[in-house]
């Protein structure tokens, strides 16, 4: 049996894509809606705007990750690959895609792809990132957006 290494969740949220994207593209806001309960903090003032940017995040276990932005389309798409500080990405990718779904509504798709994660020690954690965890992030993003609205 082949193991699935791409996990995805999708949901419609009653908020415009631009508003949702501001929360996703601002690393300092991410811990407030992270459904993996994996992010502790990220320094404010680094709103992602292009492929090639790198933003740092501190995990709840205290480790720091440098996230390399590999896909970006303002208001629609952002994806990054985490790395140890000063290192190359370790082989997994987090992607957010936003699509208009009518007046003031957006379909949000969150993907975790660990196809290229070859460090066996990281596989247990990767397997624990299920569609439920991704859905939890989308759900929390919806709650944060609704509180703002």
Q: What's 68's domain CATH number?
A: 3.30.530.20
Q: How many domains does the chain have?
A: 1
Identify whether the C-beta of residue 141 lies closer than 8 Å to the C-beta of residue 21: no
Query: Quick check: is 28 in a domain?
Result: yes
Query: Quick check: is 128 in a domain?
Result: yes
Question: Residue 85 is part of which domain span?
Answer: 6-148
Tell me the pLDDT tens digit for each residue of 52-100: 999 999 999 999 999 999 999 999 999 999 999 999 999 999 999 999 9
Tell me the pLDDT tens digit for each residue of 92-136: 999 999 999 999 999 999 999 999 998 999 999 899 999 999 999
Question: What is the structure's pLDDT at 98?
Answer: 98
Query: Quick check: is 97 in a domain?
Result: yes
Position 35 pLDDT exceeds 90: no
Look at the pTM and tell me if it is higher than 0.85. yes
What residues have CB less than 8 Å from 107, skipping those under 6 apart?
10, 11, 12, 13, 98, 99, 100, 101
């Amino acid at each position: 049996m082949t193991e699935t290494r791409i996990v995805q969740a999708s949901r419609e949220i009653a908020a415009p894509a631009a508003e949702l994207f501001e929360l996703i593209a601002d690393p300092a806001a991410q811990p407030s809606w992270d459904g993996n309960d994996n992010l502790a903090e990220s320094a404010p003032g680094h709103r992602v705007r292009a492929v090639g940017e790198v933003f740092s995040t501190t995990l709840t276990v205290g480790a720091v990750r440098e996230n390399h932005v590999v896909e970006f389309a303002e208001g629609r798409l952002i994806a990054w690959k985490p790395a140890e500080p000063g290192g190359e990405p370790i082989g997994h990718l987090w992607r957010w895609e936003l699509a208009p779904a009518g007046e003031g509504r957006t379909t949000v798709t969150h993907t975790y792809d660990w196809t290229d994660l070859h460090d066996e020690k990281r596989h247990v954690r990767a397997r624990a990132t299920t569609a439920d965890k991704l859905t939890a992030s989308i759900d929390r993003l919806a709650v944060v957006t609704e509180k703002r609205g």
